Amino acid sequence: MYKSSRDTGYCPADYHRFNSLKHITFQTILDYGSGCCMLFEWLKRSGLKFEYVAYDRREDALSLCECPTYTNIPNMLFDVVCLFGTYDHVKSTPIEEWKNTYLETIRQAKEYSRKHLIFTGIKDTIPWYTDWGRFSKQELISFCEQLNLKILMIDEETEPTEYIFICEI
């Protein structure tokens, strides 16, 4: 459960995960599961030219943002769709069901991309992240195979706790 509207599950001052976007070029970006739009802040500082759209189902988190926000995704395509930790806490959901929900979320997100898709998964080597599901690299590779995503890069360095998959549609 999120403790506040500003809570993203990540450390509030930690923007490192977004550096993975430097591996691709884009002008339009859908932040799928944006929370309070830390990515928008990072993009503004990056000096990149971009058009940013935030989507989340937490209206309270979106209300903190000064960018275009949606609880229903606009019917358009984006150069890149990114899902940074776009899942909920595991709670009492059986882990396989929770993982399958994430797979289906990525499947839906893919429909909005014309070129790239980025998603993350907490590494199974991180033992203390008990509120969230953790993945082996192979499980996430299998997600890509099932969704017909071409893996351009598996970034294991930018965010030490997560695998960041950079894919082409």
Segment interacting with ligand SAM, rule: CB under 6 A, options 21-29, 54-62, 134-142, 148-156: 54-62
End-to-end CA distance of the chain: 32
Based on the shown chain and the rule CB under 6 A, indicate whether residue 129 belongs to the binding site for ligand SAM: no
Closer CB to ligand SAM, 86 or 113, in the complex? 86
Q: Which of 21, 26, 80, 86 touches ligand SAM by CB under 6 A? A: 86
157: which 2 tokens? 């360095």
Segment interacting with ligand SAM, rule: CB under 6 A, options 8-16, 21-29, 40-48, 150-158: 8-16
Q: Which of 10, 42, 98, 129 touches ligand SAM by CB under 6 A? A: 10
Partner residues linked to 149 by β-bridges: none
Based on the shown chain and the rule CB under 6 A, indicate whether residue 133 belongs to the binding site for ligand SAM: no
| Cβ at position 108, least distance to ligand SAM in Å | 7
Based on the shown chain and the rule CB under 6 A, indicate whether residue 105 belongs to the binding site for ligand SAM: yes
Closer CB to ligand SAM, 1 or 96, in the complex? 1
Q: Which of 21, 26, 33, 116 touches ligand SAM by CB under 6 A? A: 33
Q: How many residues belong to the chain?
A: 169
Nearby residues of 123 by Cβ (< 8 Å), 6 or more positions away: 134, 135, 137, 156, 161, 162, 163
Nearest Cα residue to 125 out of 133, 117, 134, 112: 134
Map residue 126 onto helix, strand or coil.
Answer: coil
Element (H, E) at 166: strand 162-168
Based on the shown chain and the rule CB under 6 A, indicate whether residue 8 belongs to the binding site for ligand SAM: yes
The secondary structure of 14-50 as a DSSP string is --GGGGGGGGS--SEEEEET-TTTHHHHHHHHHT---
Based on the shown chain and the rule CB under 6 A, indicate whether residue 143 belongs to the binding site for ligand SAM: no
What are the residues binding ligand SAM (CB under 6 A)? 8-10, 33-35, 38, 56-58, 61, 84-88, 105
